[in-house]
Chains A and B, each alone.
Chain A
Amino acid sequence: MMSAILQIEGLRKQFGGVTALAGVDLAIQEGEILGVVGPNGSGKTTLFNVVTGVHKPSGGRVLWHGRDITGLAAHQISGVGIGHTFQQAMAFPGLPVIENVRIACEHARRSSRAYPWTTPEALLRFVGLSDLAGERAGVLPFGNLRLLGIALALATRPSLILLDEPAAGLNDKETLALVGLVKQLPEHGISVCVIDHDMKLMQMLCRRLVVLDFGSKIADGPIRDVLNDPKVLEVYLGGVL
């Protein structure tokens, strides 16, 4: 039986007059890869930002293994074991790739769990960037920058990782490599929540899918059922799916 590691209750976020999240309930189960989709501006990134401390929520609660972590600062969220990547792929551009990862490793939370990657070198090997260890991160092509972002998030020793459009801008080969990589994470005790617009990718990665629309959750369940849900089909006008 799986249990929820992250429980989101009635989460709201208001940007002035814009309601980005209108009270979202969501549970992420231990060991799963959960997909989150929704049209542009439906609040997906905001959901991540509010959970990870980038923004303070306007209302609602976030529970981590039952403990209230609502509104903690970003560095504290990293400390409890939630890692994330950004929709705008980012790194420390002026520093060598290996130093990027070393910094992340040096600030990893203490955790009794065994991770397969304990050194910056091992992390770069895992995401396939060993050859670029000495390059400045700022000169990396886009796809490699996304992989570096994942390596940085993994370096913090998370037990949940939130990936915001990890495949955006990747070619087919890179996307397949990414799928292979993400699918390994649950084996290492890392649950995953992934945002993307690419339904093919979602079908490869997840068994469960959540759909947001105008800041509200309109569907949540096994991916087959969700993709055939009339409400979901209506949101996507039948076109994208």
Chain B
Amino acid sequence: MIMKSSSSPLASLLPALAVLVVLALVPALGPSNRILSLAISAGINIVALYGLAVLFGQTGILSMGHAALVGVGAYTAAILARDLGIGFWVALPLGSLLAAAVAAIVGVPSLRVSGHHFVIMTFAFGQLLSIVLTNGGAFTGAATGLDLQLPVTWFGRPAGDLVPYYFIVIAFVAISAVASWLIINSSYGRTLRAIRENEKLAASLGINVGRHKIGAFVVSGLFAGVSGVLLAYFFRHISPNQFSAFPSIYLALMVMIGGARLLLGPIAGGILVSFLPEMLNLDPVESRILYGICLIAVILLLPNGLIAGLFDGLRALGRRLVGSAPRPNVPTDGTSETA
């Protein structure tokens, strides 16, 4: 029997790209600045979430200090601009590489130990980075943080206003989605899934489990660094508490709520978590309670996240409407991430 049940890998990329095309049309509807700002920060988070999708979705490793890696990118951008006059486009690759390097430094000792220890280590790293930034004196701006004054330009024209910056962020979300899709469908992606599914078996087949786990963390750092540079140039002011425990938990929450294994997951999670409190008009304490409840509900009811749950639900509905018997043992979209 030839595997005909699932479509080509391209079919998993198209929905995400289609959604992004629709989102790129949003400025034409004349949204308020408030909505546009929220959308930009959601997009900045989504870039980091695509890195978490590789780390958590594919490799099965949870990072609870991911905002700290975003912070490395953001501070790199701010310090490069302040001390060397280096601007947005050069800061992007440098911030990304530096965040990846920091991920390697944190990852090498942490990933030698088991998964649970890694979660704790990443959390501790996040806290540590906050402390370092807060006590970094004039170099990091201490608790007040740093301002960023260099403009963002696009072929000589200013691109720092909300609408042009929105397009830049959407473009980076698209690049992140495609990069993450390429990883998922490569031999490297299969290797990471093997580690997620069964480390002992993976090792017996010749996979260097430790090295690939560190590699996945480094890859997720590349995404986080880009997200950090985008963030710094959007807010124009960064401070340590933007990269501490709560932002890290939100990132983990977004990837779990949206679902880490499907390309639409990060988009859904990023938008939902950014917009929900605003739409429901909640204060910060209420929104934290809401996030907590959402997280528990998703873990209990939709372990593969909202998007996978939605697809499964639609499929079940379709079967009932058509009245055909369910095909047994065919992997659902929730589980066949390459399909």
- Interface residues of chain A, those whose CB is within 8 Å of chain B, are 52-54, 73-75, 77-79, 83-84, 86, 90-96, 98-99, 102-104, 106-109, 130-131, 133-136, 139, 152-153, 155-156
Contact = CB atoms under 8 A, between A and B. Distances in A.
A-B complex: 3 closest residue pairs judged by Cβ atoms: A92-B197, A78-B206, A134-B3
Contacts of A52: 204
Contact of A90 (B187, B191, B201): B201
A54 B204 CA distance: 8
29 contacts: A73-B208, A75-B204, A75-B205, A75-B207, A77-B204, A78-B206, A79-B206, A83-B204, A84-B204, A86-B201, A90-B200, A93-B197, A93-B198, A94-B196, A95-B197, A99-B338, A103-B191, A103-B202, A103-B205, A106-B191, A107-B191, A109-B206, A133-B3, A134-B6, A136-B331, A136-B336, A139-B329, A152-B205, A153-B205
Interface residues of B, number: 29
Given A52-B204, A99-B338, 16 more contacts: A54-B200, A54-B204, A75-B204, A90-B198, A92-B194, A92-B198, A93-B198, A96-B331, A96-B336, A99-B193, A103-B202, A107-B206, A130-B1, A136-B331, A152-B205, A156-B205
Contacts of B194: 92, 95, 103
A131 B1 CA distance: 5
B222 interface: no
B209 interface: yes
A78 B203 CA distance: 8
A107 B190 CA distance: 11
B326 to A, nearest CB: 13
A103 B201 CA distance: 11
B206 A108 contact: yes
Interface in B172-195: 187, 190-191, 193-194
Contacts of A77: 204
B281 interface: no
A107 B3 CA distance: 23
A102 B205 contact: no
A91 B193 CA distance: 12
Contact of B3 (A96, A109, A139, A152): A96
Contacts of B336: 96, 136
A103 B190 contact: yes
Given A75-B207, A134-B1, A95 B193 contact: yes
Contacts of A99: 190, 193, 338
A62 to B, nearest CB: 16
Contacts of A104: 205
B208 A75 contact: yes
A78 B205 contact: yes
Contacts of A156: 205-206
Contacts of A96: 3, 331, 336
Contacts of A53: 203
Contacts of B207: 75, 103, 107
Contacts of B193: 92, 94-95, 99, 103
Contacts of A79: 206
Contacts of B190: 99, 102-103, 106
